[in-house]
Amino acid sequence: MSRKFFVCGNWKMNGDKASLGELMKTLNSAKVDPSVEVVCGSPAVYLDFVRSTLDAKFGVAAQNCYKVAKGAFTGEISPAMIKDCGAHWVILGHSERRHVFGESDELIGKKTAHVLENGLRVVACVGEKLEEREAGITEKVVFAQTKFFADNVKDWSKVVLAYEPVWAIGTGRTAPPQQAQEVHEKLREWLRANVSEAVGDSVRIIYGGSVTGGTCKELGGQKDIDGFLVGGASLKPEFIDIINAKQ
């Protein structure tokens, strides 16, 4: 089954109108593989600006949102607001949300359900910490995190699963391609067994954690790696090489 390669930039809390404007100018004029789906994860305050500046062939994602439509939740944003800015994706369960801001699996699950009910799509992130890998419980951890997503997803065609080992994020320590492939394959098996064969076959599972222009080709060549979630390198022209990893 062919799964459309998916590359999502995660700009995190970086950039300003000037630098992101420059970056988008570079992206808009770049030669990008038309068979790849590309999405840029913008800081919430710039969603409108990014959507109106970025070429329509690129999708736009928010990096987080809250679990309800509106109300007295100072500082939060809702899927409805994200949609109102013209964006169609939300990144949920990112390791920084889990481990810096203490988001629980339960909260991430509720956000997922609410985002999907509002017609947006989700980049659903899972990944083990270094001590969890060293303790040999990587699968247990990522399966448990995936279950919280699965319990809140009705239509998996609206979800991309992102495997991001925490120890590889922002560290320059990309997971060895074989090792990443192993986890992707296990996640696919888990989806086959716990959701359905069809979902296991069709869901895109992308890798994140220090992906660069140098590491993307070998990673992208793995059977179960269907694209990337890219932090640091998504702020550089190098992002174009990552988009074109399969060429």
Catalytic residue check, 99? no
Catalytic residue among 76, 94, 114, 189: 94
Distance of CA 46 to CAs 18, 62, 187, 242, Å?
11, 9, 33, 23
Q: Does the footprint of ligand PGA cover residue 232 (CB under 6 A)?
A: yes
The binder of ligand PGA chosen from 15, 86, 170, 177 (CB under 6 A):
170
Q: Do residues 228 and 207 lie in contact, with contact meaning Cβ atoms separated by under 8 Å?
A: yes
Nearest to 6 by CA among 220, 235, 238: 220
The binder of ligand PGA chosen from 93, 127, 208, 227 (CB under 6 A):
208
The rounded distance, in Å, linking the Cα atoms of 17 and 193 is 45
Q: Does the footprint of ligand PGA cover residue 10 (CB under 6 A)?
A: yes
Task: Give me the residue label for tokens 């409805």.
Answer: 80
- The residue count for binding ligand PGA (CB under 6 A) is 13
Catalytic residue among 114, 164, 184, 189: 164
Based on CB atoms, which residue is closest to ligand PGA, 189 or 238? 238
Q: Does the footprint of ligand PGA cover residue 244 (CB under 6 A)?
A: no
Based on CB atoms, which residue is closest to ligand PGA, 199 or 233? 233
The rounded distance, in Å, linking the Cα atoms of 163 and 89 is 17
CA–chain centroid gap for 111, Å, is: 15
Catalytic residue check, 94? yes
Based on CB atoms, which residue is closest to ligand PGA, 59 or 232? 232
Question: What residues from 128 to 167 belong to the interface with ligand PGA (CB under 6 A)?
Answer: 164
Angle between helices 138-150 and 105-117 (to 10 degrees): 40
The binder of ligand PGA chosen from 209, 216, 227, 239 (CB under 6 A):
209
SS3 39: strand
Task: Give me the residue label for tokens 């509002």.
Answer: 118
Contact string 210-229 vs ligand PGA (x = CB under 6 A):
xx-----------------x
| Two structure tokens written together for 146 | 């995936």
Q: Which stretch binds ligand PGA (CB under 6 A): 26-34, 141-149, 193-201, 205-213?
A: 205-213
CB of 197 to ligand PGA, least distance (A): 29
Give the DSSP H/E element, type plus range, for residue 151.
none
Which neighbouring-strand residues pair with 205? Answer: 161
Query: Which active-site residues does the annotation give?
Result: 94, 164
Binding site for ligand PGA (CB under 6 A): 10, 164, 169-170, 208-211, 229-233
